[in-house]
Chain A
Amino acid sequence: MLALIPALPLAAVAVNLILGDRLGRRGTAFLACGAVFASFVLAALSVIHLASLPPGARTMVADVYTWMRVGDFKVDVAFLLDPLSSVMVLVVTGVGFLIHLYSVGYMAHDASFRRFFLYLNLFMFAMLTLVLAKNFLVMFVGWEGVGLCSYLLIGFWMDRPSAARAGMKAFVVNRIGDFGFLLGMLTLFAWTGSLDYERVFAAAPIVFHPGTLAITFATLALLLGATGKSAQIPLYTWLPDAMEGPTPVSALIHAATMVTAGVYMVARCHILFTMAPFSLETVAVIGAATALFAATIGVAQNDIKRVLAYSTVSQLGYMFFACGVGAFGAGIFHLMTHAFFKALLFLGAGSVIHALSGEQDMRKMGGLASRLPWTHGVMLVACVAIAGIPPFAGFFSKDEILSAAFASGHYGVWVAGLLGAVLTAFYMFRLYFLTFRGSSRLTHEAEHHLHESPAVMVAPLVVLAALSVVGGFVGLPFQEGGRRLTTLEGGAALERWLAPVFGEGGAAGASHAVPHLSFTTEWALIAVSVAAAAFGIAMASRAYAKAAGEPIAEKAPRLYGLLEHKYWIDELYDTIAVRPIRALGDVLWRFWDEKIVDGTVNGVAYVVEWASAVLRVFQTGFVGTYALFLTLGVAALIAHYLVR
């Protein structure tokens, strides 16, 4: 049954390929959405079954077949459902289904409707393989598969040069990360002799000493892979450009699911990371730096999808530093709530873009609240959720991350996260005010076509909005067995659910070293983070609620310019990496390949040609000539023997 979850979307891909255009638009839509929905139902049933097992035995395994066997080394195509992958699989199939449904409306007028759903289903297959894998190699298959689909879907409108370029950029940047993943995987294999999660994690404490070079190297290499897939510093640059793809793709792949693969992988390898304190520190620092850094860039972007893209990078940063401070459960919790509200934000933005016939520049929006009531409503919910106002989903997860950072003594990370939270609230409400409030700045053309999205698009938005409201409650502390509730940590439903994976003690790794915070401190932290969010919203409201221009640009033009140009990081990478590599490639091409390699091959051909030109003279075709040479040869032989 487990294997069917990824297999169904793959089957849909096959049917789509075989039947082709005979399916028609309705058929394509039903097939694609139906397969994903069936996967979702199967996943839900599996998870319900999983929940019925005792906590210690909550794993389900499906061995499909033995992929390879070399001596002691054996790799199975096998799937594993445990509490960690169950969260992922529900998020992926659930949000994935909603986005499929939404796409039916969003892509309705696209000429390549069928190709779109083909890629989307292929993506679902790869993503589900990734999260359900039972060993690193199968995970890597999914990892590469989602990378491929991401490339295909970013460049979906490949007749646009910018889309084709963005796809290539995403692919190449991800390759750097994949190299890291591969390196980490091979290091683990070299030391433990296996790629199976269970065996690697069981062997790791025996073969590695905590903090040694080997385990640090392996985890840092895995981290490099995670930064590539999850768009963290230094490999985050591809994600904002990935917005060239259709908006449902941005929602599904570049917000809700694929980009969280890095977080999932780090959480999956938490045993390894906790053995390498340096790597864990690095995860925390990278995460916090990315969370803050990307948030500042998000403040000064005018493309509605780019704001969301930087917001995604920033929120992924939160997940990373949650893992980095040892609160893997909190990271996964934020991953889940983020999937809800960020998918909602992207789909809402898509709805706005759809209504405005493709306009993405927020400077040409404004005053849409009354014109797009449904979209406005759900977007407001999503903005509040991501800003971290209780009782919306984002509040619970973000607060949990921040308090875990505080509790584990990472005060620098905590401050960065808090500043990031202020900025998050600020740029989200900047987006909200620029888009839905103020006076209309629409072009006449867009004004004319303005319309609310069809029901097939609005329905998923409403479901996601509901999830963004209630999704955080799984993180609520709850009382068990009449035990008196003295702390807000450690009793949360989700963390209790994840406990078999991350170890007993609720707040995962953090609790190994750090005592739980006192009740008072908890509430103080909550007050601080809510105040931070409220402050951000207030600032955005002051600056943009009625403004026509760009207040930051007027007050601090140089800072704004720096942010608008994204700190010139793309240009920096271009100078220090892209151009030198291209120059090297140019040398290898024009000198090494054309002169040396081609030269050798052509040289052989020239020698043969010259030799045959000489020999051709002797072949006249006249018997007499041949006889003459024969005679001369014999005479020469005789002379030779006589003289000798």
Chain B
Amino acid sequence: MMHDIPLAWMLALSATVFVIGVVGVLVRRNALVIFMSIELMLNAGNLAFVAFSRALGSLDGQVFVFFVMTVAAAEVAVGLAIIVNVFRLKETIYVDEINLLKG
């Protein structure tokens, strides 16, 4: 079995996925893609939880993962609704064409 995959490797994978997510958020223009990148970051977090849960022999981490996934689902619902409305308003979902936050 994969008993002896070290914790460090799993954390490294988690970190890699997280950074991919961060870079995705920063460089992509499409709001949907940015959204997916955020999901990547969340799931990188989940991966780290699971890894620690296994390494420490505790179920607490796995419980947290459920919470994170719930929150992520709710966030998607709200986020997508925003995106749909922005699209109706501006006819674009490219974030560099949306600068409503400037006072």
Task: Verify A631–B26 contact, CB threshold 8 A.
Answer: yes
Partner of B102, one of A620, A628, A631: A620
A500 to B36, CA, bound (A): 107
Residues of chain B contacted by A623 (CB below 8 angstroms): 95, 98, 101
A623 to B29, CA, bound (A): 10
Residues of chain A contacted by B22 (CB below 8 angstroms): 631
Q: Report B95 CB to chain A, min CB distance, Å.
A: 5
Chain A residue at minimum C-beta to C-beta distance from B27: A624
Task: Verify A619–B103 contact, CB threshold 8 A.
Answer: yes
A623 to B22, CA, bound (A): 13
The total number of A-B Cβ pairs within 8 Å is 29
Task: Verify B26–A624 contact, CB threshold 8 A.
Answer: yes
Task: Verify A619–B26 contact, CB threshold 8 A.
Answer: no
A628 to B27, CA, bound (A): 9
In the assembled complex, A641 has its CB within 8 A of some CB on chain B: no
Task: Verify A619–B95 contact, CB threshold 8 A.
Answer: no
Chain A residue at minimum C-beta to C-beta distance from B101: A621
In the assembled complex, B96 has its CB within 8 A of some CB on chain A: yes
Residues of chain A contacted by B100 (CB below 8 angstroms): 621
Residues of chain B contacted by A620 (CB below 8 angstroms): 99, 102
Residues of chain A contacted by B95 (CB below 8 angstroms): 622-624
Residues of chain B contacted by A619 (CB below 8 angstroms): 102-103
In the assembled complex, A591 has its CB within 8 A of some CB on chain B: no
Partner of B99, one of A622, A627, A628: A622
A 575-634 contacts with B by CB, 8 A: 619-624, 626-628, 631
Partner of A628, one of B26, B29, B101, B103: B26
In the assembled complex, B25 has its CB within 8 A of some CB on chain A: yes
Residues of chain A contacted by B29 (CB below 8 angstroms): 624
A78 to B24, CA, bound (A): 88
A153 to B62, CA, bound (A): 95
Residues of chain A contacted by B99 (CB below 8 angstroms): 620-622
A528-568 vs B, Cβ < 8 Å mask (1 yes, 0 no): 00000000000000000000000000000000000000000
A623 to B25, CA, bound (A): 10
Residues of chain B contacted by A626 (CB below 8 angstroms): 101
Count residues of chain B with CB under 8 A from any CB of chain A. Answer: 12
A620 to B96, CA, bound (A): 10
Q: Report A474 CB to chain B, min CB distance, Å.
A: 85
Chain A residue at minimum C-beta to C-beta distance from B28: A624
A626 to B95, CA, bound (A): 12
B 16-54 contacts with A by CB, 8 A: 22, 25-26, 29
Count residues of chain A with CB under 8 A from any CB of chain B. Answer: 10
A623 to B100, CA, bound (A): 9
Q: Report A627 CB to chain B, min CB distance, Å.
A: 6
A619 to B99, CA, bound (A): 10
Task: Verify A627–B102 contact, CB threshold 8 A.
Answer: no
Q: Report A619 CB to chain B, min CB distance, Å.
A: 6
A496 to B39, CA, bound (A): 111
Q: Report A327 CB to chain B, min CB distance, Å.
A: 82
A627 to B100, CA, bound (A): 15
B73-103 vs A, Cβ < 8 Å mask (1 yes, 0 no): 0000000000000000000000110111111
Chain A residue at minimum C-beta to C-beta distance from B100: A621
A619 to B101, CA, bound (A): 9
Q: Report A526 CB to chain B, min CB distance, Å.
A: 94
Q: Report A628 CB to chain B, min CB distance, Å.
A: 6
Choose among A622, A628, A631 the residue with the greatest number of B CB atoms under 10 Å from its CB.
Answer: A622
A381 to B5, CA, bound (A): 133
A623 to B99, CA, bound (A): 7
Residues of chain A contacted by B103 (CB below 8 angstroms): 619, 621
Chain A residue at minimum C-beta to C-beta distance from B22: A631
Chain A residue at minimum C-beta to C-beta distance from B97: A622
Q: Report A29 CB to chain B, min CB distance, Å.
A: 66
Q: Report B26 CB to chain A, min CB distance, Å.
A: 6
Task: Verify A627–B101 contact, CB threshold 8 A.
Answer: no
Task: Verify B96–A622 contact, CB threshold 8 A.
Answer: yes
Residues of chain B contacted by A621 (CB below 8 angstroms): 99-103
A620 to B103, CA, bound (A): 9
Q: Report B48 CB to chain A, min CB distance, Å.
A: 15
A6 to B95, CA, bound (A): 80
A 370-412 contacts with B by CB, 8 A: none
Chain A residue at minimum C-beta to C-beta distance from B25: A627
Choose among A620, A621, A624, A631 the residue with the greatest number of B CB atoms under 10 Å from its CB.
Answer: A624
Residues of chain B contacted by A628 (CB below 8 angstroms): 26
Chain A residue at minimum C-beta to C-beta distance from B96: A622
A628 to B24, CA, bound (A): 11
A45 to B17, CA, bound (A): 108
A 6-33 contacts with B by CB, 8 A: none
A621 to B29, CA, bound (A): 14
Residues of chain B contacted by A624 (CB below 8 angstroms): 25-26, 29, 95-96
A626 to B102, CA, bound (A): 11
A5 to B101, CA, bound (A): 73
A620 to B95, CA, bound (A): 12
Residues of chain B contacted by A627 (CB below 8 angstroms): 25-26
Chain A residue at minimum C-beta to C-beta distance from B29: A624
Q: Report A635 CB to chain B, min CB distance, Å.
A: 9
Chain A residue at minimum C-beta to C-beta distance from B23: A631
A631 to B41, CA, bound (A): 13
A67 to B25, CA, bound (A): 75
A588 to B102, CA, bound (A): 45
Chain A residue at minimum C-beta to C-beta distance from B95: A623
A624 to B101, CA, bound (A): 11
A429-470 vs B, Cβ < 8 Å mask (1 yes, 0 no): 000000000000000000000000000000000000000000
A343-358 vs B, Cβ < 8 Å mask (1 yes, 0 no): 0000000000000000
Q: Report A633 CB to chain B, min CB distance, Å.
A: 13
A627 to B22, CA, bound (A): 9
A163 to B86, CA, bound (A): 73
A: residues with CB less than 8 A from B are 619-624, 626-628, 631
B: residues with CB less than 8 A from A are 22, 25-26, 29, 95-96, 98-103
Given A623-B95, A623-B98, A624-B96, 17 more A-B residue pairs with CB atoms under 8 Å apart are A619-B102, A620-B99, A621-B100, A621-B101, A621-B102, A621-B103, A622-B98, A622-B99, A622-B101, A623-B101, A624-B26, A624-B95, A626-B101, A627-B25, A628-B26, A631-B22, A631-B26
Nearest 6 CB-CB pairs, A to B? A621-B102, A621-B99, A621-B101, A623-B95, A622-B99, A628-B26
Cβ contacts A to B, 18 pairs, < 8 Å: A619-B103, A620-B99, A621-B102, A621-B103, A622-B99, A622-B101, A623-B95, A623-B101, A624-B25, A624-B29, A624-B95, A624-B96, A626-B101, A627-B25, A627-B26, A631-B22, A631-B25, A631-B26
